[in-house]
Structures are given as C-alpha cells and as structure tokens.
Amino acid sequence: MLYRALADLDAGKRVIRKGCVFLGKELGESVCDALLQRGRIAVVSTPPLIVLPNWTIRAELLRTVGIVTVEQFLEFDTDELAKAIERTLEKVNEWKKEVKAQFVIDNRRRSG
Amino acid sequence: MAQTTTAISACDASIWLDDEAGALTDISGSSSVLNFEFVQDTAIVPTFQGDWKIRTACGRDATVTLTAVYTTANSEAVDLIKDWFFNYRGTKRTLTFYLPDKNVGSDKYSGEFLMTGFSSTISGGTPDPVTVEMGLESSGAVTWTTAAT
C-alpha cells in the first residue's frame, strides 16, 4: 500500500519528510497501522498510470506485464521489472522516482 | 469543538543521552523532570503611520533542564553528567526524548547539546532523594519527528 507522511517520520537511518509518499513495506505494515491510528500517515489512492501526463507509452508498456496502477508499478520488484520490459535498472528507478514525485505535497510553510 | 481524547501524561516519556562513546543511553529510569524551551528571535519593524507592531523572525534556539536522581550506578543519568562535565569539557552530546513514550507514532525531539553546568542541593536533615539539575543549550538544529521504528 502507498502512504503519505503527514509528519516527518524518523525511520532510523532516514527521515521520510512530511508530504512524501512511501510504500508500506518500507516501514512494515504493523508500523504503518500504528502511524495510521495516530494520524501521522494517510493512505494514498493511486490512479492508473495511463492518466499521468506523458505516461501513455510507458503505461502501455507496463500493462504488458500486468501493471496498471501507480501502486502496482511502485511495488513491483525493480530488477524483475527491468528484465521483463527490457529496460535498464536505472531507467526503471528513474521512472519510479518520477512517479513518486508527482504525489509529493510540499506543504511546509515558509516565511517571506 | 469536541473535547480531546488524546491528552498525554509524561509517565512513560523516554529520555536518552549520549555516553562518552557517543552511544545513546536510556536515562529515563534515573531522571525525573525534563524542562524544554524552544525560542525564536523576533524583532519589531518600526514604520511611520502604523499603530500595530509588525515583526520579523530569524534564529531559533533550544534550552533544556534535566533533573536527575543522584544514583551510584554506572551509565545512569548522574554518572553520565559527572563524566561529561569533568572529563569531556566543551564536547557536544546528543539528547533525544520521546513523548508520550518510545513507541511508533510518538513525538521524537533530538539534537546536539552543550552542557552549561549542573547543580544540586544536599541536606543532612531530609530523607528526600538527592537530585541533580543539568542545564543544556542546543548547538545546531533540534529536530522534531515522529518515531517510525
């Protein structure tokens, strides 16, 4: 499942910043359940890849391996996916980063 | 507005301080009070024809006062305080504390601090446990995050 951080989350070696999205498996589902209960994260409903701007061709390609939604894409093993669609690992990682970035909300208030 | 159901007490707060090796050590069981204060520098912007003051803001700062119970065991709060003051003058240490407890979802405050000193009053006429008060001032950013591990 995909979540959005509603506060800065201290995950030990890294901090997931408020507004960023992350996969449940990054923290573990039991941790996510506890954070949900405290209102520190929210579930993100993801649309089909095809509706994302400039993703038509990539969405068609990913559909050939059964990936339709953003969540399915992010959760799919990167190595396995790169082999299946005959793209480099770097390229798949770049796409995942691009998709994630579309769901980040930078809601920090700044002075000025 | 509905009355809150999430008020906390400090009973299960968790306080951690670096030892001489830089390892965060749980001193919750040998300390009893932690006072923290976060401040932001502000200044008034004077203008003509303005009766309401306007302000700008800049630097932030944190100070902490920790009250520890005077114990004789190694690696408890007072042992760390004494060692830090007498053997590691001028060094910074990490102080981290969790509210309401050290569980997933709790508030975590953490930063590097310098000790300004420690003090205690001892009296032969009272059975009360001896306590020690240590002053700390932040050096660099103090962070506020949600514990997610």
A-facing residues of B in 103-122 (CB < 8 A) are 103-105, 108
What confidence score (pLDDT) does residue A110 get?
A: 55
Closest to B145 (Cβ–Cβ): which among A8, A31, A34?
A: A8
pLDDT(A16) > 70: yes
Chain A residues whose CB is inside 8 A of the B148 CB are: 9-12, 16, 27, 31, 35, 40
Contact with chain B for residue A12, Cβ under 8 A: yes
What confidence score (pLDDT) does residue B94 get?
A: 98
What confidence score (pLDDT) does residue A35 get?
A: 97
| Same-domain check for residues A54 and A37 | no
Domain that holds residue B110: 14-44+54-146
Q: Place A100 in a pLDDT band, splitting at 50, 70 and 90.
A: confident
C-alpha span between B129 and B120 (Å, rounded)? 11
Q: How many domains does chain B have?
A: 1
What confidence score (pLDDT) does residue A102 get?
A: 85
Secondary structure (3-state) at A111: coil
pLDDT along chain B (149 residues), means of 10: 94 97 97 98 93 94 98 96 96 98 97 98 94 98 96
pLDDT(A89) > 60: yes
| Same-domain check for residues A39 and A16 | yes
C-alpha span between B123 and B60 (Å, rounded)? 38
Domain that holds residue A78: 49-101
Task: Count the neighbouring beta carbons within 10 Å of the beta carbon of residue A36.
Answer: 18
Cis peptide before B100 (omega within 30 of 0): yes
Q: What is the 3-state secondary structure (H, E, C) of B9-78?
A: CCCCCEEEEECCCCCEEECHHHEEEEEEEEEEEEEEECCCCCCCCEEEEEEEEEEEEEEEECCCCCCCHH
Q: What is the pTM of this model?
A: 0.86
What confidence score (pLDDT) does residue A103 get?
A: 83
What confidence score (pLDDT) does residue B115 get?
A: 98
| Same-domain check for residues A96 and A55 | yes
Contact with chain A for residue B146, Cβ under 8 A: yes
C-alpha span between B117 and A3 (Å, rounded)? 44
Closest to B145 (Cβ–Cβ): which among A9, A27, A111?
A: A9
Q: Read off the CATH number of the domain in which B25 is found.
A: 2.30.110.20
Q: Which whole number is the average pLDDT over A77-90?
A: 94
| Same-domain check for residues A32 and A58 | no
What confidence score (pLDDT) does residue A105 get?
A: 78
Q: Place A106 in a pLDDT band, splitting at 50, 70 and 90.
A: low
Residue B95 lies in a domain: yes
Q: Place A107 in a pLDDT band, splitting at 50, 70 and 90.
A: low
pLDDT in tens, A58-75: 999 999 999 999 999 999
Residue B22 lies in a domain: yes
Contact with chain B for residue A35, Cβ under 8 A: yes
Q: What mean pLDDT value characterizes chain A?
A: 91
What confidence score (pLDDT) does residue B83 get?
A: 97
Residue A109 lies in a domain: no
Residue A111 lies in a domain: no
CB pairs under 8 A between A and B: 42
pLDDT in tens, A18-55: 999 999 999 999 999 999 999 999 999 889 999 999 99
